[in-house]
Structures are given as C-alpha cells and as structure tokens.
Structure 1
Amino acid sequence: MNVYQEALSYLESHHAAAGGEGLEDVFHEEAVSCFLSPLCSESIDFPDTPTSCSREEMLEKRLVVLRGILESEEVYLRELDALLAPMKALRASAGTSQPVLSSQQVQTVFYQIPELKDIHQSFYSGLKARLGSHNSELEMGDLFLKLVNHLGLYGGFIENYEKAVEVVRKCTQANPLFRTLAETLYINGADKARTACTLEGKRTLLYKPLDRVTKTTLVLRDLLKTTPVEHKDYAALQEALRLSQSFLSGVNESSQSKREVTLTHGMRRQLMRDGFVVDASEGVRSLRHFFLYTDLLLCTRFKHAGRGKQDQYRFSWYLPLAGLRTRWVADHEQPPDTTVRLLTLRTKMFLLRQQLQQNPKGTRGLTWTARNRKKLEQMELLLLTHSPVYRLDLHSPSDKSHTLFFSSLYELEEWRDAIHKLTTGKMRLCGATTENLLTLTSACVKLRMTQQPHLHSSVAAEDGKLLCGTVSVAIHSASGLQEPACVYVCVEVDGYEFYDKRAQTHSSVRSLNPLWDQELSFLVDGAQKMMVLCFKPCYVMKCINKIHANESFAQLQNKTILKLNLLDSTSLSCRWRRQTLQVGQLEVTLSLKYCPHPLEAPGAPIQQPPVFCVPIEKVAQQEGVLVPHVVRCCVEEVERRGMDEVGIYRISGTATDICSLKAVFNTNLREAVTRLRSAEVNTVSGVLKLYFRELPEPLVPSDLFQSLAKTLDIQDMNSRLVSMLSLLQSSPDVSRNTFLYLMHHLQSRVAKRQDVNKMTLMNLATVFGPSLLRPPAAGLEHNGVTVDISQEVVIQVQVVFSFLQSNNLPEAQTSLPYGSDTEEETTHM
C-alpha cells in the first residue's frame, strides 16, 4: 500500500470518505472581507471589432474561440475536482479524536472553492449545450454575464488566499498525513490519464482560481474581438467585459492599499463592506449603495456614465461610527394602499416571468424577450425598494438619525454585526471634512466590492437547480448552548418576492437543549438558499414617564446558510431529509422536504383559520402538530417568567388584554407570539385557561367522564392511576398529548415552585379541572340520570388532581414524526 492510500485509509477509519461524492453537502459559507492578495492583469479597454475580415470569417473565428473556452473550462473543472477531492474527508475527520486538520483549518483552506466549482459547472454545461447546435449565430452573452455576475465569489477566495496558503504550509510541516495528501493529488485528464500535482505553490492547485479570474477577463476580450458589432451578443459581452474589468480593478486597488483611500494630510480610510440597501429619508424609500469604512457609514447615489466614461457616485449622507447606536424592528404593518400596490406588482412580475419561462428560446422574438427581461428587472428593483419590512434605525450622538430597510433579516444582521465590530473595536478616527467626503465618494468606483443589486430576474430561467414549489422545514432541536436560555429559530429563503419568505419557531423553554419540533412551510419560486438564524429573546427594564416596563429585543446567537440548489431535489421530494446544521456554537437538527408543483399567481394574504372555539383536532391538523401552538406558546411563556409569580393561573389578567390576545391568535400567530413576550404573565396564563374553557368539546372527551369518575372509588392510588391512564389512552392523539403536555407543565414546573408561587397540585387541579373535564351534557349522565352539580365539580377537580399526583405520566409528543427513516447527515457551514 502506498503512502497516499495509507493516508486515505486513516481518514476512512475515522468515518471519512476522500472521494468527491457528496461534496455539495459540505461547507458552504458566505464570503467575508479580508486582505486581498494582488493579481496581475494588464490594462483592459473595450476592444475595437476588426474590420479586415468578412462577417462569415469573424463568426468562424468566434466559434474557434468559443470551443477553446469550452476546452479550457473542462480543464479547470478537473482541476477544481482534484482540489476538492480531499475536502470532505478532512472535514469529517475534524470531528474525530485525532483530526488531520481542525474544522477552522479546513474552512480556511477550501474557502469558496465548492461555490466556484458550482458556478463554472453551470457555465460549462450551458456553453456545451449551445455549441452542440453548430449555429454560427448562436447567442452566448447571457451565459458570460451570469458568470461575471458571480465574480464576487472570487473576491472572497482572493481575500482568503494568503491565509489558506499559510495553513497548508504549517500543516504540511507538522502533519505527515496531511503532507501526503497535499503532495499527492491527481488531475484526471480527458484521456483518463492522471497528472500528479500538489495542493499549494505557484501554478499548483490552490493557485488555479487566482490564475482563472484573470483569464476570464482576457477571454472576454478575445471573444468580443471576433463578435460583429451588429451581433445580438455584442452588447452583453461588452457589459460582461466592463464588469470583469471593474472587478479586477477593484481587486488590484485593494491589494495595493488594503481597500484604503488617501485623504487630506495623509490620512487613510479602509473599506470594510458595501452593498445596496433601502434608505428611507423623509418618508421616501430609495435604493442606495452604502459603503462602510473603518470609522463612518457613507450613503451614495450611483450615476451610470455613458459609453467610454467612468461610472460615478454622488454623496447623499454619512454617519460617524463613534457612539453610533443601532436598533432593528420588524415593521410588518404597511399602509393598505402600499399592500395593494405591492400585490399588484408581484402579480404582474409573476405573469411576466411565466411568459418568459414559456418562451426560453426567444421564439416570440429576441427583441420581445430582451425588452421583457429588462422590464422584469425594473419591477424587481421597485419591489426590492418598497417591500422590505426589517427596519434598522441608526442614531448618532450628534442627534442625526437615519432609517434603513432590509428584505432579509440575515442581511440586516450582516450589516449590524459589521457596524458593531467597528464601533466596539479600536477605530482610527480620521475626521470627516467636506473634502474628505468628496474624496471617499469619488473613490467608491474603485473600492466597491458589489457591482449591482442581486436580482433573481438575472438568473437564467432554464436553470433546473432553482426550487419552485413548497419547501417544508421541520425544526427539531438544538444543542451546544453554554448556559440555559430561551431560543427561537428564524428561517428565510430567497427567490422572487412573490410569497412570504420568512417564518420562525416559537421560543423554546429555558434549556441547554432547546426543543421545538415545529414545521415551517414556504412557497418558493426560484429559491437557491435557505438562511437559518438563532435568536434569544432579551428584556430590558425601561422607565418611561415613571412607568417601568419590559422592552423586548432579539439577540442573535448565530446564523448560517444552506445552499438548497446544491441538495438533491429528487430525494427531498421523496421523503423528509434530516440534517444537522452547525450554526456557530449551536448544532440545529432539522428535516427538509421539497414538493415541486406549478405555482399560482400571488393573491391577497390568506386569512389564518381561527384557533379559539374550534375543535382542538382541527386546529392541530391545520398546524401539523399534536399540541396546538397557542398551548405551547402560552405554557413556555409562563415557564420563562411566571414560575415565581404568586397565584399564577389563579389570578387572571385583565379581561380586555386577554380578549385582545385571543383576537390576535385567531388572525396572526406570528404577531400573537410577539405580543406574548411583552404581555403581563397573568394575561398569558388567562389566555391559556380561556382556550381550554372555550373548546367546543372538553380536552378530556366527555364520554370518559363517568368512567373516570368511577376510578375515584379505587382506594389504592397506584391501581387508580393505572385505570385512569388506560382510559386516557383511548382518547384521540391530539387531546391525549395536549393533556399530558399540560399535566407535565403543572406538575413538574409550576408545582415545583409552590413555596414561592403558592400553587399546590390541589390549587392547580381546582383551577383547571372544570375546564379540562366536563360531562356529556350539563347535569346529565349517558342514561339521562341527573347529576348533582356540586358532585360534578368535585369529580372534575379530583380526576385532574389524581393525574397530577402520578409519577409515571407518559411523555407528551408535541409534533407529528418527520420520518424516522430519513437520511441523517451533518452539514457544516
């Protein structure tokens, strides 16, 4: 056995596979801004189309260039395959007792490479399919534009390159097993020949992406030289070359100055982040390009220059980071007229996109296709400006304030985290004079890392990896908390904004291992990724006009991204797929299921079915659970902050507050959960009691009333409980599990604190007995014999009291099972 095989055997013995299969499930992470390594590229201008040859000769040369590009892409993909070959094995061994590399080291070495492989594989497939038609007039511009629009991924790789090389060098010297893998890699040739290569070094595997990003720009120049001006591809290729040239210019600028710009008196500022964000000034929303420097946030307006001229940015406003305070809220309430206009816009976009999908080859005319694609982009920009609901308020010590809006909570947290790190770190305060701000604004063209807003309308309609249908996510549990906490999970999906793209679980009970077992569903159209964020609700005592009140806010625990377009949609549509996501220090276990189906045009928001005064089986079926959310949410809120409340459940809250919360539960569960967190805890307990009291059929079925009453005659407590539990097992699943869930809450948590809250088991039975258990008809037995009302109450209380005294109550199942035979895997982010 050679040394390479010995290294692979070691990894396999630690349950790691070194092959390339399944790489799409491992390590996908967003790029972060770091120091960029320098790239050498010549100054590129838009080439003039040669006029010395005929159109036919140019097109023949163009085909030759395209075939050369295809061959080059094939070679590059084989190089990336060789580079990725050891990644999954190293990642798997990182979780063993004797890792070859740590998880962080694997992350650093292979940063962004899986994403680059996916982008070039898509480009290669599209290019190969079109070249197979042997049409000299074939159009390729959209493929190159799509490729260039993902050059930002190379930015992340370039910034990380020096760190990756350093890790490889150190580990090669320190670890013989890694040295064997790093120095014995193979590139598979088209003729099945294998070429030996190494992981690190100039012109070796890790250097290949650096070399490729420069070649992309040069290739575009060659292709444009052989494309006639009147060809339909010419404008698209010009734009692709401009974007590529701008990207290289920004990389070179950053490599020379670490994304810094020189100001007056020799001072320098460094750009940390930039992107497109909605700015709300004086009630008017505008999409602006923001630049976050080491000591200030700059808002600019982009001015597109004419042909042959450089784009420019205009100054809008700035805020110094020193002392800057941020606060975000979910502003879901929009004026009715705005809601109607957005719905109309979404409907028009949906119908227009359907028309474009049904006309993929431009059969209705290329002019019609181009015009409507442009129209779709404009409508998406309009939607991107006016639909965001996550508001970030910025307040500076100088009383200057601005409000930003984000479509994604994940994106908002990215910006807020970047600002927070700068405001809490050691900032180099440069001062903001008018001259400096003008210098900064004019330098934005060269420093920018983001070229244009991310639009889904720019994604090729024929891309089969986009998910269209229903994505269901069952959030099960989490582990890894350092201390007990209440945690909830927020899930977002991308795609067109036709439907609701975000949902969250209820807040868990305070625990080291939060448990939810809650299913979230999304209608998706063009989804590629899913964002998972974990939050901990926090409360701060505020004093306003001498009145003390709790102000709630959400503290982010961590976040990650799961690439949906890299999952096997076929297996997802067959059964639930169970996964464990590494979300920072937390491991979140969830299940995924995808149901592809045609989508209907977005309509008015569907009215949520009522919850109160509805049979509990119907509510549970609507929610896909065994214990309704209203019960779990109220119980968990009481457990979070009501255990030491004297007379909890005995002392009710204000009737108007209880009725108000009831109305919200009947219309908007998400809003109800939010209000629970700030409501008086006695109001929360009152809502729970009201829910059980207003059930059309009591929680314990009425036909069990007399049988349970007869068990009270059994003197031996153990025998009595056995009989009662046996009767309970005959009740419907939802009623039984909800009853057991409530009993565990009252017995194991509320009554455990009876020294403080004064709620003994008998007190609790007295409160809940009449709500949970009722005879078939008021005052009547099954056979029509009247029953004394006073005796009825005694029976209700004694039955519930007996259940509360049991030490062997079965555990309650809160949610339906999500397929125990599903595939189990851990996805590291």
Structure 2
Amino acid sequence: MDVYQEAVDYLESQQVPAILEVEPDVLEEDVFQDEVVSSFLSPLQTESIDFPDTPTSCSVEDMLDRRLLVLKGILESEELYLRELETLLMPMKALRASAGTSQPVLSSQQVQTVFYQVPELRDMHQTFYSGLKARLDTHSETETCLGENQEPSHPGFELAVGDLFLKMVNQIGLYGGFIENYQKAVQVVRKCTQTDPRFRTLAESMTSNNGSARTKYTFEALLYKPLDRVTRTTLVLRDLLKTTPEEHKDLPALQEALRLSRSFLSGVNESSQCKREVTLSHGMRRQLIRDGFVVDVNEGEGSLRHLFLYTDLLLCTRFKHATKGKQSQYRFCWYLPLAGLKLRFLADQGPPSDSHLRTSHDIRSKMFLLRQQLKQRAKGSKGAAMAARARKKLEQLELMLFKHSPVHRLELHSPSGKSHSFLLSSLYELEDWREAIYKLTTGSIETVPPDLLTLTSACVKLRMTQQPPLHSSNAEDERSLCGTLSVAIHSADGLQAAACVYVCVEVDGYEFYDKQAKTHSSVLSTSPHWDQELSFQVDGAQNMRVLCVSQSDQQDDTVLGKESLRLDAKSLNNRWKRQTLHLGQVEVTLSLKYSPHPLEPPGSTAQRQLVFGVPIETVAQQQGVLVPHVVRCCVEEVERRGMDEVGIYRISGTTSEIGMLKAAFNSNLREAVTRLRSAEVNAVAGVLKLYFRELPEPLFPTDMFQRLAKTLDVPDSNSRLVSMLSLLQCCPDPNRHTFLYLMHHLQRVSERQDVNKMSLLNLATVFGPSLLRPPVAKLGHDFPPIDISQEVEVQVQVASCYLQCNNLPEAQIALPHDTEAEEETTHI
C-alpha cells in the first residue's frame, strides 16, 4: 500500500477528514499550466493537512502516528523534487562544453545565468533527503525489532529529525540568489528557445523518470520548480509542528526552523515587487482588474469561491476567516493564464429539479419569516439583541441561497487543456465577468509564472470586494420598493443584423421570490417586438438591470447590451410609466408600474400557469396581453417560414411534436418559443389550431351562434357585414382582438395561395369549427336543434365572411402600458 492510501485509511479510521489529494502522473507539463502537485503536502494545489493546533481531542500516540505519515510524505516529495532538479541539470555539462566551440548553443555567461545556484540547491536537498531517509529506515527497523516487546514509550519519541530541518533551513539563503536571478534565467531560456532550434528541441523535451511513468517537462517549467518549492517550506514545517507533541525533543529545533523559514520568505517578499507589480513581457504590469464571489463547480458540488482577475491570469481562492491568534487568509484553489483562454457563455442551465425547488423554497420561506420578524422588532425599542441574531441568520440563509441558486455558467478553456467554470445567479454580473476577461484575452498576453503563495496571500490586501453580494448586509432605504413591480417589454431597435432576441430583467432586494425573468425569444428581426409583461414580488428592491440577448441555435447566447436602472418608490406608482433604455447600440422600450402592498409568503413551488384548455380571458390576464403569446408566436413563426408551404394549416404536423410543443407552452414560454424555431412548420401550425380547438369557450361565445347564423340570411352584403362587425364588438376584448389578429394573418396566408394552395375558403373550412360552436343543450335551456351539416356550414360561412372583409379593424395585441403623457428616455 502506498503512503498516500495509508494516510487516507488511517485518518478515516480516526474519524479525521482525509483531505489529502494527489494528482495522477501527467505526460507533459508546461509552466503556463496549473502546476502538477508533486506532493500531498503541497499548499498550492491542495490544502495542507490541517490538524488542530492543540491536541485536545487526540492522544499523543495518535499525534506521533500522524507525524510519521507527514514525514513519509515529505520524503516522497523530496525524492520527486530531486529528480526534477537532476533533470534540469542534465544538459548543463553538454551546454558548457559547447560554449567553447565555434557554434555554441549557449555562451558561458548564459550557462552560468540559467543554472545559477541550481547545483547548490540540488546538493542541499540531497543531503537533507539522505539524512531523512536514513532516520526513517532506522525507525522502521526499530519498530520491526521491537514487535510485541516494545517499550512503554512510543517509538515515535525516538525519531528525531529537527536537526535535519534546521540544517536545511540554515542554508535556505541559497534560494535568495536563485530568486534574484530567476527572471534573467527565464529571459535567456525564452530568447534562445525562439532563436536557436537546437536549444528549442532541448528545452521542449526534457524528461524525468517518476516511478513507473515518464514525465515530459519544458525547460521553463523545471526552472520554476525551485521557486515553487521554497514557498512550501513554511507550510511543511507548520504541518510537522502540528503533529509534534510538546514533550518531543524535536520541538525547539522545528520551531526555530519555522521561524527562520518565515523570516526568509518575509524578507524575499518585502524586497521583491508585489506580484501584482510584475512586469509582463509586453510592458504592462500585473494589476488586479476586478474580483468577486462566484460558485465554483470544478469540485463536484458548487463551492463559494473568491475570484481575482489580474492583467494576465485568473486566480480562484477560498477565504479562510481569522481564528484566535491568527489572521484571515486566502487559500489557493486554481489559476488559469489568460493567454489563449477561450470563453463559453451559457445563459440557461435547464429547469431545476424538484429537490432543488424544494430546497430553494425552504430557504426562502425561512428568510421571509426572519424578515417579517425584523420589521416588527424595528417598530419597538426592545429586542435589539434578538434582532441582531435574526439579521445574522438572515445573512446565513441568503448565503446558502447564493450558493444554491446560480443558473448562468461561464466556462473557461485554456490551450493547455485545463478547463474551469463558475456560476452566478445574475446574468448581468456574469456578463461583467465575461466582458472583463474577454477584453484582456484579446490583447497580447504572456504570463509570467506567478509565485502563487505570495500572490494568494496578497489577496487579503488587494481585494476590492469584501463579501458576497448579500442584500441583508445593506442599509435600509426608505425609497426601496416593497410590493409588485410590473415591467412590460415592448420592443427593441438598433440591431445591426436580424436576430432572435430576448430581454432579461433582474431586480435586487430580498430573495423571497425569483428576481429574474425573461421574455420569449423574438422571431428573426432587426426590430423585435414582444409586448410581454413580467411581474416581480419585491422587498427592498432598489435597482433593476436589463439585458438584451441574441439567441442562436449554432452559437452561444450573445449579450447585445445591458444597463442598470435605479428604482425609486417615489417616482413610480400604479400608472404605467413608459421609457427607453439605451443598452449600448440597442434601445429597449419598456414600461414600469409599481403597486406597494404587504407581501404574501412565497408559494411552495412556482405555480404553473397553463395555457391550453384555459379560458382565453384567464390566459390574457395572466400574461398582461390581449392576444395570448402562444397565438402570436405560432403566427410569427408560420409567417417567417411557412407562407409558401403547400397545404399550410391543412396538412397536419407530427402528433408527437405537437404534443411536445403544447407541453412546453404549458410550462415554459421561453423554452416553447425556442423549440418552435426548430420544429417542423406544419407542427407549429398544428399547435395554433389545437389551441383554438381546446378553448373551453370559443372566441365567439356560444350564445352568439344563433345571432351569427341569422346574420348570414341578410341579403345585402354591406348590411350583413355591418351586423357581423357589430356582433364582433360584443365579444370580450381578448376574444375580439385575438380573432382579429388571426383573421389578418389568414388573409396574408391567402395572398400566397398561388404557392401554398390555401384560399380563403380553405382557411375558413379549417378554422371555422374552432372559432364558433353551437350551444350545448342543457337542463333548463331550450335551444333549437341544429343539423350537423348546417352547423358546419354556419361555422365556415361566418369565418369566410370575416376573411373576405377588406376593412377589418386592426387588432390590439397588448394592454396599453403608456398611460403617462410623455415618454421618458433614460440615460444612465
């Protein structure tokens, strides 16, 4: 059994979480990739073994057993490091020999620069490795000989290694010279790699035998190894001290070694420039551009991480809060150079699962109750301590929701094959990140290998964002909104090319309800129209963000523009206020309405608002329109690509596809419209027919059937048309406007009857029976019986008469949202 597995099994047997981790051997390593973890003790790629500072819950024997595991891990790490140094030094003799020839690969000065202090470092670590290995071997033999007759004292007390560590640390000054010379050495390697093919072949194919595998390195990656190694010394000593009992004779030597190591690293950091100030190859200095909290999905379940974007790299860290006697610090998770980094933006991660919805509901319900308690306590002078506890709990719940609710993903793919991704619940915030990263990746970037320990430690001072964006941490504002905020999205202008576009709206405030909503995707157009109303239940809302997004079947969604709008309860009221937002080159026209009122507790799940089989007035009221979205979207799609389809509305689409689209409209409008674009056009036409056929009450109420049938008997065509239009005015608004919208569409279809073979009579025959139905005989109602053939004839003739009318009134699609006298154009 190897040391790693032995360590894991032991810690698990002692109920200690095993956080050891080793990455498998790799075939190739480059300095611009994430550094390969050479030891499970690495403080860079993985956490060091985090034993308690005081052994209150484990015996001295347990500590000594763990100490032995730590020492074995250090020995393995030293062995791998020595192999890497030997690989780096392997070509030194040949390069020195060629320096005296007529065609040198490197000059004598260049050879001295490249390998400066490396032999000395190799000798220092070889001496330390040999001494440590000898003592561990002797200890192992002693344990075997003792067997059952071992002495009462634990054999771990006899294993003394403190002098070895102290001797090595006393020579750590060798690293100071290496660090000062490092940049010069790298410059020589890069220059010669570019100018001399002989050196390039050497520099790109250096291999080392690492156990059973052969690892391929670049010269520059090997040069970085000592720089990486020296930063680990302090953490290795700290881990060893954590497992060394106070009565052990090694304790004073190890404490002194740790002090010297910390002093050396502190001096190096103070004398060198901050890693933020490293000069890059193209003249820029490494600077922190932005930072913030995200949910990292590269470790299985999502984890809250603090992300730092520098001029040339992206650094992901985990914040460790200060404990007694210690300072707050960041722990390294991963980093990616920006050079050649590819971004993939995914605006939707699919519908959440039932368990996800239940968890979100539980968190939001608790938040709502805590918020109500805080409001009640705010009215009195007592209960300050209870209010403080409630606010703290509210922050904790909001943080849980922050980690639980993200749906927008940004994937990062580096040329080396490394991939990472993170999530945010705000599309606006994610687009800020994407824009910032993309702007840097489009420049000429060359990464200077960072000292990750120093860079990560500097994050405490460099950070701009101190905590996750929790609304409960913000100060209350009397101008914030509490009630219902309605947003009607009308249209957009300024698109450079025709596109399928949707608008996303986000509001802030307490997360009791969903804070994001999107319109359906428009048909391919340079001037898309939606007239779609979005509604938010808000508490403490102060800002609204609007994004215009282009949706493509072949590519990722593209944010065309975004803007943030300040919400003020004093300027908004129960009347619609129309305004135009400038989102870059795109202008989005919308209307706002705010109705203040106490909030109801959040529902258990998002209530499904069915569309099919529901009275049209109900659907129209839910959607805030006069013509339901399912009618508009199907009509727009047919007019986009079905006007020349032979037998459109007469030839049926696939039943399964129609059923799939119906289910989508009943659950998610955006998903339904997206599917419409790729569905067979006859299936789209079938969905429209099915909607009218499944209406509980047809567009013409059944009690109007007899009146319409009598109107057909009027001999004068003009008088008959006037009567029919008069009867149409008696219909409820959604029925009337939906009917007119459909009639105008069918008239446009018939204009292409030379191609699609659908005349007005054919269309009347298809739609007539769905738009008009005779009343059903019921108890207490005496309707004259109607022959089935006569019934169909009336239905077709009524539809045909309306279709033949050349002056049908225009349909009003949406409710009026512009009751304010003047339109406001908002510039932010």
Which has the larger displacement, 784-793 or 397-406?
784-793
Q: Which residue type is aligned with residue 537 of structure 1?
A: Q
Query: How far, CA to CA, are the matches of 1:456 and 1:288 in structure 2?
Result: 18
Q: CA deviation at 1:374?
A: 2.6
> Could you say what secondary structure the match of 1:487 adopts?
strand
2:480 paired residue number: 466
Q: CA deviation at 1:366?
A: 4.5
Q: CA deviation at 1:725?
A: 2.4
Query: How far, CA to CA, are the matches of 1:593 and 1:265 in structure 2?
Result: 52
Query: How far, CA to CA, are the matches of 1:807 and 1:698 in structure 2?
Result: 24
Change (3 A) 1:286 1:691: same
Which has the larger displacement, 786-795 or 707-716?
707-716
> Could you say what secondary structure the match of 2:465 adopts?
coil
8 A contact 2:282–2:444 mirrored in 1: no
Change (3 A) 1:260 1:339: farther
Q: CA deviation at 1:808?
A: 1.8
Query: How far, CA to CA, are the matches of 1:747 and 1:469 in structure 2?
Result: 44
Q: Which residue type is aligned with residue 604 of structure 1?
A: S
1:452 paired residue number: 467
2:439 paired residue number: 421
Change (3 A) 1:827 1:652: same
Q: CA deviation at 1:385?
A: 0.9
8 A contact 1:507–1:633 mirrored in 2: no
Q: CA deviation at 1:522?
A: 0.5
Query: How far, CA to CA, are the matches of 2:591 and 2:762 in structure 1?
Result: 41
Instruction: Trace 1:453-532 onto structure 2 (pairs within 5 A).
Output: 453-461=468-476, 463-532=477-546
Change (3 A) 1:704 1:511: farther
Consecutive unaligned residues of structure 2, counting only runs of 5 or more, are: 1-269
Q: Which residue type is aligned with residue 729 of structure 1?
A: Q
1:273 paired residue number: 290
Query: How far, CA to CA, are the matches of 1:497 and 1:306 in structure 2?
Result: 30
Query: How far, CA to CA, are the matches of 2:443 and 2:644 in structure 1?
Result: 43
Query: How far, CA to CA, are the matches of 2:421 and 2:716 in structure 1?
Result: 68
2:558 paired residue number: 555
Change (3 A) 1:643 1:489: farther
1:284 paired residue number: 301
Query: How far, CA to CA, are the matches of 2:752 and 2:300 in structure 1?
Result: 51
Query: How far, CA to CA, are the matches of 1:286 and 1:504 in structure 2?
Result: 27
Query: How far, CA to CA, are the matches of 1:456 and 1:685 in structure 2?
Result: 46
> Could you say what secondary structure the match of 1:358 adopts?
helix
Which of the residues 390, 394, 401 maps onto 2:412?
Answer: 394
> Could you say what secondary structure the match of 1:523 adopts?
strand
Query: How far, CA to CA, are the matches of 1:754 and 1:258 in structure 2?
Result: 72
Query: How far, CA to CA, are the matches of 2:774 and 2:706 in structure 1?
Result: 7
8 A contact 1:313–1:442 mirrored in 2: yes
Percent of paired sites with the same residue: 69
Q: CA deviation at 1:324?
A: 1.2
> Could you say what secondary structure the match of 2:631 adopts?
helix
Change (3 A) 1:267 1:784: closer
Query: How far, CA to CA, are the matches of 2:481 and 2:278 in structure 1?
Result: 42
> Could you say what secondary structure the match of 2:521 adopts?
coil
Q: Tell me if 1:628 matches 2:642.
A: no
Query: How far, CA to CA, are the matches of 1:628 and 1:346 in structure 2?
Result: 31
1:76 paired residue number: none
1:808 paired residue number: 807
Instruction: Trace 1:201-280 onto structure 2 (pairs within 5 A).
Output: 260-262=277-279, 268-280=285-297
Q: Tell me if 1:403 matches 2:402.
A: no
8 A contact 1:327–1:394 mirrored in 2: no
Q: Which residue type is aligned with residue 435 of structure 2?
A: D
Query: How far, CA to CA, are the matches of 2:460 and 2:819 in structure 1?
Result: 54
8 A contact 1:270–1:293 mirrored in 2: yes
Q: CA deviation at 1:719?
A: 5.5
Change (3 A) 1:574 1:785: closer
Query: How far, CA to CA, are the matches of 1:681 and 1:304 in structure 2?
Result: 58
Query: How far, CA to CA, are the matches of 1:399 and 1:768 in structure 2?
Result: 57
Q: Which residue type is aligned with residue 421 of structure 1?
A: K
**Taking structure 1 as the reference length, what is the TM-score of the superposition?**
0.61
Q: Which residue type is aligned with residue 296 of structure 1?
A: L
Query: How far, CA to CA, are the matches of 1:783 and 1:359 in structure 2?
Result: 64
8 A contact 2:305–2:316 mirrored in 1: yes
Which of the residues 348, 364, 386 maps onto 1:346?
Answer: 364
Q: Which residue type is aligned with residue 524 of structure 1?
A: V
Query: How far, CA to CA, are the matches of 1:329 and 1:819 in structure 2?
Result: 31
Q: Which residue type is aligned with residue 280 of structure 1?
A: V
Q: CA deviation at 1:469?
A: 1.2
Which has the larger displacement, 346-355 or 661-670?
661-670
Q: CA deviation at 1:279?
A: 0.6
Change (3 A) 1:618 1:374: closer
Q: Which residue type is aligned with residue 453 of structure 1?
A: P
1:584 paired residue number: 584
2:64 paired residue number: none
8 A contact 1:575–1:593 mirrored in 2: yes
Q: CA deviation at 1:289?
A: 1.2
> Could you say what secondary structure the match of 1:608 adopts?
coil
Q: Tell me if 1:536 matches 2:553.
A: no
Change (3 A) 1:267 1:818: closer
8 A contact 2:626–2:737 mirrored in 1: yes
8 A contact 1:575–1:822 mirrored in 2: no
Q: CA deviation at 1:267?
A: 7.9
CA RMSD of aligned residues (A): 3.3
Cα distance per residue 1:73-103 (max 9 Å; x no partner): xxxxxxxxxxxxxxxxxxxxxxxxxxxxxxx
1:192 paired residue number: none
> Could you say what secondary structure the match of 1:573 adopts?
coil
Which has the larger displacement, 601-610 or 383-392?
601-610
Greater radius of gyration (CA):
2
1:47 paired residue number: none
Instruction: Trace 1:144-159 onto structure 2 (pairs within 5 A).
Output: none
Cα distance per residue 1:349-380 (max 9 Å; x no partner): 22222222333388445544433333322222
Q: Which residue type is aligned with residue 284 of structure 1?
A: E
Q: CA deviation at 1:659?
A: 2.2
> Could you say what secondary structure the match of 1:626 adopts?
coil
1:226 paired residue number: none
Q: Which residue type is aligned with residue 314 of structure 1?
A: R
2:826 paired residue number: 827
> Could you say what secondary structure the match of 1:539 adopts?
coil
Change (3 A) 1:708 1:522: same
Q: CA deviation at 1:347?
A: 1.9
Q: CA deviation at 1:296?
A: 3.3
Change (3 A) 1:270 1:428: farther
Q: Tell me if 1:692 matches 2:671.
A: no
Instruction: Trace 1:623-662 onto structure 2 (pairs within 5 A).
Output: 623-662=623-662
8 A contact 2:521–2:670 mirrored in 1: no
Consecutive unaligned residues of structure 1, counting only runs of 5 or more, are: 1-252, 541-551
Change (3 A) 1:494 1:664: same
Q: Which residue type is aligned with residue 814 of structure 1?
A: I
Cα distance per residue 1:197-254 (max 9 Å; x no partner): xxxxxxxxxxxxxxxxxxxxxxxxxxxxxxxxxxxxxxxxxxxxxxxxxxxxxxxx9x
1:29 paired residue number: none
Q: Which residue type is aligned with residue 561 of structure 1?
A: S
Q: CA deviation at 1:260?
A: 4.7
Query: How far, CA to CA, are the matches of 2:383 and 2:463 in structure 1?
Result: 36
Instruction: Trace 1:105-116 onto structure 2 (pairs within 5 A).
Output: none
> Could you say what secondary structure the match of 2:534 adopts?
strand
Q: CA deviation at 1:807?
A: 2.8
Change (3 A) 1:359 1:713: closer
Change (3 A) 1:770 1:369: closer
Query: How far, CA to CA, are the matches of 1:440 and 1:763 in structure 2?
Result: 74
Change (3 A) 1:758 1:441: farther
Query: How far, CA to CA, are the matches of 1:778 and 1:650 in structure 2?
Result: 31
> Could you say what secondary structure the match of 1:356 adopts?
helix
Q: Which residue type is aligned with residue 449 of structure 1?
A: M
Query: How far, CA to CA, are the matches of 1:508 and 1:754 in structure 2?
Result: 26
Which has the larger displacement, 525-534 or 627-636?
627-636
Change (3 A) 1:763 1:673: same
8 A contact 1:263–1:436 mirrored in 2: no
